[in-house]
A and B are shown apart, each in its own frame.
Chain A
């Protein structure tokens, strides 16, 4: 038990990730307003990307841009570039899907005159 708590507080990035991920997920499930749900979705996306990027960090390492192009590369002095590449793609695709979600919200509002889930369900019946 004490061991587990110790392990968590030695990884503050992971603790932050868990809090933001679960809180955003909770907002997605419970709130009625559609824009609020999308805010929760955005928090979930960015928290997962945050976790992946913090895996790539190394103590005492710099950004993955080679300082000298002639010397042999010291691997431990550059951050791991692969999670960066994957998350670059994930951020852009995430914002594109967020834009589709917001456009859907606009279309729903034009059709039903509300963004509240309960109101929309009443009008659907």
Chain B
């Protein structure tokens, strides 16, 4: 990387994560002093959006090539008081906590105390959601049966498609249905972003006049021209295309704080026509393209995730905002989409080595091996990116849901592993669901043994189960009961977003909101899906298998004996626990005796959710299998489990086996993991750890490629590799100062090892040690 990029990268890495009061101040000012009460909610939101954009600080960092920040400066993160209102104590915690802290200035604290909190108290979306939910929901939520994504962030979780590379915002708005309030709001928002770009254009021109270095002065004038062209009109060049997207990014993230961070999706596909043409015409060199891309990469790294309120650091707490760049895959016609720019971007990923944006490859059977081999060489360097996805399976999943083949091929994965039709789908992640905790409730006849409260339904005392089938049918009843509570809760939440938080700017970008004159949060998108993410498949499978094996088949222990062992956290049952840990069939070993339970739980979860009506008329619920870091939190809220796991320890993550449960190596894991039908999900997550020693031999790349291809032929959705040895991690725990750049794969994303909580660090060390053997 050249000097300019080196400096920008250093600046980004060294910038202190802090909260900015700017947005909170402006949106409060707007609703207090400038909002017209006669306007519809959508139009008010659009005008608020415009007010923020036109009054926020214009900031151009160093010699960057892509401009625009969400906050006033890199790593200054705005807050969203209309969605989730930070209390003073939230601000103090964020300012002072050891991990993932955000600096909060005295001034911000004061403005919050005097202006923001008094105005929004009782009127934030989070408060509305909490008040609207019933007793059953609160009980289940507090017990850790499920989490709720939308309580602090808006339903975003969508990805930009290809249309902005062909049309300017003005062109898109010309198709707008001004007849609806949502349509009007989209026009106001679209025009606002053009005005916002104009402010940047003016500022760049002013800077050019004062710039002493001639080359930079010329560059600043070019950039001023770019900001005049985009986003108003269609981009004409590679540089304009990236700047256009970046204005969209800033717009979406200024309007609200959607899960997960908006992102450009199929970047190599969108940019390739510009790249190819300009290279051929001699207007662009590969070096310049790389420089612009690197500057673009740094912009993502300048944007840590919005900070949370109230909750602890357990559930998905990270600076990572889950923007996931997709590379490769198939074209709209179904051909191999890998091109020379794909490899250029892979080079950029390897060289930048940044946490954000995250990156992945879409691997189809039609893609060349060179693409996969290049990726494995980057993985070998051990920072967990890019992860590897099966395009053919993603398309199959989207087709099963009834999507058009072209929309499916234009899709990919976002966030951690979530499949979606890019640019045409509102796919909402509603929260993690604790499949293992439901078994705990079932084994206690509806009572949560941790809180001693009755929160489920009566399905019979476990001692009275005559057969393993009796247990399974009781489990399925409890599962159905809690899933209904979860889904009903989300219908209520979606209704509140429909009513209070339309997102007109995001609606411009997702088809067919403009055509339908209907907001993204009101069902305007072509496809609408609400996902529930199942967590703990390995743990619940092993627990059920252990009961089947020891209580019903071998009859070595009675059900009441087992219950006593669990109640006492195996205190007088260490021999039995040894049996459970070392001598009981487990998921992940290609052994049907255990894997049959994973299939049965998966199928039950699927049939209780898939296709159920969500709030929006054109929206249904579906499942996927990913944990982020919730398996730690979900383990914390649980006592001991029949798989030998002690109380409060983490659950298994994604569809990976329980930590240490797989004993026959990666092929057996992949076989077990592929027994469930991935096409019934919207994504599954499988983690495989390799010690660096595995990669010492050149042949290993070929063999790993064979492993990935085989898993995908078996129908796997995603696989990721962690390449790091446990000694390194242990040393990093002891001397965090020496490992500030150590990035590890967590679960569907990478994070700085130092930023992880000790529990999560320990878990990663445990799993890594296992792979060293």
Task: Report whether chain A binds chain B.
Answer: no
